[in-house]
Amino acid sequence: MAKLSRRQFIALGVGGAGIAIVGNWLHQKTISSQPILKSSTNPTPVYQSSKGLLELDLEASEHLVDLAGQPASLLTYNGQIPAPRLEAKPGDKVRIHFTNNLQQPTNIHYHGLHIPITGNADNVFLIIKPGKKLTYEFQIPASHPSGTFWYHPHLHGLVAEQLFGGLAGLFIVRGELDENSVLQAAQEEFLVLQDFSIDRQGRRSDSAHMSLMMGREGNVITVNGQVNPSIAIPEGGLLRLRILNASPSRFYRLALEDHSFYQIATDGNSLSEPIEVAELLLTPGQRADVLVKGDQESGQYRLLNLPYDRGSMGMMGGGMMGRNNRDEPITLATVNYESAVDSLALPIKLAPISALPETQTVRLFELNHGMSPAMGMAFLINGEPYSHDVIHTQVKLNTIEDWELINTGVMDHPFHIHGNAFQVISRNGQPESLLAWRDTVLVKRGEIVRIRIPFRDFAGNTVYHCHVLDHEDLGMMGNLLIEA
Ligand code: C2O
Ligand code: CU
């Protein structure tokens, strides 16, 4: 694992983490888009496209960051936790001048974006070595849905470690849903959920083998890089939260005291109308956009993370593995009522969704773990761990398929497919009532989930995998060839 030597660490520590952060601000180079700060409670810099182009410099490097009042040596994009938020519109060009100043190879995946999976676009087979640069360049299709997407490293074997170091940021596509007048009047906030494991010296701690099997979780949970930040809600108005689980393994089961969530998007993609939910389960990789009504008594309300049991390696640890923090709700943020606004009702209609037509093609994917001759204990799809050299699944461009995801293991696995969103058709044979687009779906232990996926626009090689990223790194991934 890349770490600062003690000497470098002390040198950086002089002057405090604040200077390191500010210094990075001043270093934004000559590129057209300048970051802007939009919210006083959320310090994340934002880069927006202008005149059809989003262009910026992005550097991955180890950096001292103020985490819960302590300097912590994290892996960052542009020195920021979370990474800068990128915002573009359908039809825009994106050009990211990327420099890898980590001590490991890396690359970038644009999670949820429907863009080319080859070349210098959403290509997870690129390898950018330490000290090297690469310009990512792609166009967001004019027909691209609006939504909450994100970017993070995707070099197989290092994904969990690099995300756990902090490398993750939002990629927002502003479009149809954002033109809804009610949503425009709502107060918009972004919540990037990340957990970290930091020792007293501010170093990232190594994960033990067992916690890798379970999927690493950290004891410092942050929202936009802060511990328990405050979020303003306008009295009488609506708060629009766009929430990303950017943790490598931790599931979040969110609830806001005395308030319901009105979900308007799944994995960034608009629902046809808001649905009321008391709590929101977000697996790693998933996003949810929700509205909260500011209709309670003025005051403070805790945004809680409720316990969730995602299973464990029972036969190895007697069911005790990874059970820390399972039993108590944790406060993630505090929602504060602020001055009243003209009262705002929920929107009735959002963007329409049509169901995909039925298909004859059904493929089975069995998710489990087991012994692999090459790797020892490994995570498997259809009995095989990931191999770079094998095409595990070959499909044809412009076709629709049903995939049946069968979890025969003892842990939950959130299944993610690159490049194309899908619809959930049924769970354990029960038809799914909510028509929605997703790119990551939870397959609980013992569960069978059927999804329907259209392979549109872009041919090439890409992957599908479990988004508990230790499971992905330990083999629960497959290569997907979309043939033109
Ligand atoms: Cu967010 Cu292949 O992952
Ligand atoms: Cu998994």
How many Å lie between the centroid of ligand 1 and the Cα of residue 292? Answer: 28
Nearest-angstrom CA–CA distance, 472 and 386: 8
pLDDT tens readout for residues 15-41: 333 333 333 333 333 344 556 654 556
Q: Identify whether the C-beta of residue 166 lies closer than 8 Å to the C-beta of residue 81.
A: yes
Cβ(136)–Cβ(120) under 8 Å? yes
User: What is the model's pTM?
Assistant: 0.91
Please give the Cα distance from 172 to 167 (Å, whole number).
17
Residue 198 backbone dihedrals phi, psi, to 5 degrees: -125, 135
Segment among 223-232, 257-266, 341-350 with least mean pLDDT: 341-350
User: CB neighbours of 436 closer than 8 A, spacing ≥ 6?
Assistant: 266, 269, 271, 353, 423, 424
Q: Could you tell me the pLDDT band of residue 161, with boundaries at 50, 70 and 90?
A: very high
Pocket of ligand 1 (CB under 6 A): 109, 111, 152, 154, 285, 416, 418, 465, 467
Tell me the CA–centroid distance for residue 467 and ligand 2, in Å.
6
Query: Which ligand has the minimum distance to the alpha carbon of residue 466?
Result: 2
Q: How many CB atoms lie within 10 A of CB 65?
A: 23
Write out the residues surrounding ion ligand 2, Cβ under 5 A. Answer: 413, 466, 468, 471
Torsion 91-167-225-195 (CA) sign: positive
Cα–Cα distance, 151 to 159 (Å, whole number) = 12
Q: How far is the CA of 234 from the centre of ligand 2 (A)?
A: 39
Note the pLDDT of residue 123: 98
Distance from residue 277's CA to the centre of ligand 1 (Å): 26
Q: Which ligand is nearest to the CA of 109?
A: 1
What tens digit of pLDDT does each residue of 45-76 get?
999 999 999 999 999 999 999 998 899 999 99
What average pLDDT does this structure show over 185-191?
Answer: 96
Distance of CA 173 from the midpoint of ligand 1 (Å) = 18
| Ligand 1: residue whose CA is nearest its atom 3 | 111
pLDDT band at 339 (very low <50, low <70, confident <90, very high): confident
Higher pLDDT, 308 or 323: 308
Three-state DSSP string of 146-175: CEEEEEECCCCCCHHHHHHCCCCEEEEECC
373 pLDDT above the threshold of 80:
no
Whose structure tokens read 């329907």?
452
What's the mean pLDDT in 391-405? 98
Range with the poorest average pLDDT among 116-125, 195-204, 311-320, 327-336:
311-320
395, HSE (Cβ side, Cα atoms, 13 Å):
27
Q: What percent of the chain has pLDDT over 70?
A: 89
In the predicted structure, residue 385 carries a pLDDT above the cut 50: yes
In the sheet where 70-77 sits, what is the strand order? Answer: 70-77, 53-67, 93-101, 133-139
Give distance in angstroms: CA of 228 to centre of ligand 2: 28
Other beta carbons within 10 angstroms of residue 63's beta carbon come to 26
228 - beta bridge partners? none
From the CA of 154, give the closest atom in ligand 1.
2
SS3 of residue 473 by DSSP = helix
- Residue 124 CA, closest ligand 1 atom number: 2
CA of 470 to the centre of ligand 2 (A): 8
Q: Which atom of ligand 1 is nearest to the CA of 284?
A: 1
Which three-class secondary structure state does DSSP give residue 17?
helix
- The ligand whose atoms approach the alpha carbon of 245 most closely is 1
Ligand 1 nearest atom to the CA of residue 477, by list position: 2
What are the residues facing 336 on neighbouring strands?
Answer: 232, 300
Token pair, residue 184, equals: 């425009």
Q: Is the pLDDT of residue 172 over 90?
A: yes
Residue 187 has pLDDT above 70, yes or no: yes
Q: What is the mean pLDDT of the chain?
A: 89
Residue-wise DSSP of 422-444: BEEEEETTEEP-----BSEEEE-
With a cut of 70, say whether residue 152 has pLDDT above it. Answer: yes
Among the listed residues 404, 418, 417, the one whose alpha carbon sits nearest the alpha carbon of residue 447: 404
Range list of H helices, 40-83: none
Structure tokens at 265: 């998007």
Q: Which two tokens stand for residue 245?
A: 């689980």
